[in-house]
Structure 1
């Protein structure tokens, strides 16, 4: 088992179950502290090379995942990894796509879909989940 993210570190979101995940903007420097042990890159183009394992979920800026079935698989896998790994979600700005993915993780963690965007905005970033279709995606995301 890997040591988790430090509470209060930049971008760290605590889910109701206690799982800690980090969201961040790829256009900013890597935060100080431990590196992720696994990352999910939410980008419309090939992500940068990292020294840790990662997966690329094709997700154009201000839009939704290109393949929603693949997105569900990646999000469920990430949620399952979160208790034992330093899991990071990252897009260019760290708000829209990252916030949407984190809100979906919150749904998987038991937050009602209608409350997940507010949860992420309260505990991660006030401007997370930027577009109406991203908010609708979260509201219709189901844990099963």
Structure 2
């Protein structure tokens, strides 16, 4: 039996394959519902401890991940886990870094790079992916 998010729950993005991933801001209250089974946290410093398995990706606010290869591996792990788990991706505010990561997940799921930011803005948050650098990161994100 797979464990997944409720498709209409706050912050949940449905990728074209049907995978569900929750994006959120850590500065906001935790949404109602079950906890994630795995979380990827995109912060400049180590996140607080959670009661579920996590992975931290060093990613300063308004910038890009400090290790691009680690970022690619972490995002691939999230995409794979989202097939059967409740996975969340979060940064402090839930828009820039989280939106960028979600757009990269959309690329992994088959959305063309040049359409991924629009996909996330339409299906997750209109102001996701905040900076030019973040948009370029998605445009150049490699699935290989």
The equivalent of 2:110 in structure 1 is 110
What TM-score, normalized by structure 2, do the two folds share?
0.98
What 5-or-longer segments of structure 1 have no aligned partner? none
The equivalent of 1:85 in structure 2 is 85
Q: What are the Cα deviations for residues 56-79 of structure 1, in whole angstroms up to 9, with x where unaligned?
A: 000000000000000001001111
Structure 1 residue 74 corresponds to structure 2 residue 74: yes
1:29-108 aligned at under 5 Å gives the runs: 29-108=29-108
Aligned residues: 144
In structure 2, distance between residues paired with 1:3 and 1:34: 10
Runs of 4+ in 1 over 6 A off after TM superposition: none
What TM-score, normalized by structure 1, do the two folds share?
0.98
In structure 2, distance between residues paired with 1:2 and 1:39: 17
What 5-or-longer segments of structure 2 have no aligned partner? none
Contact 1:2/1:86 (CA < 8 Å) preserved in 2?
A: no
SS in 2 for 1:89: strand
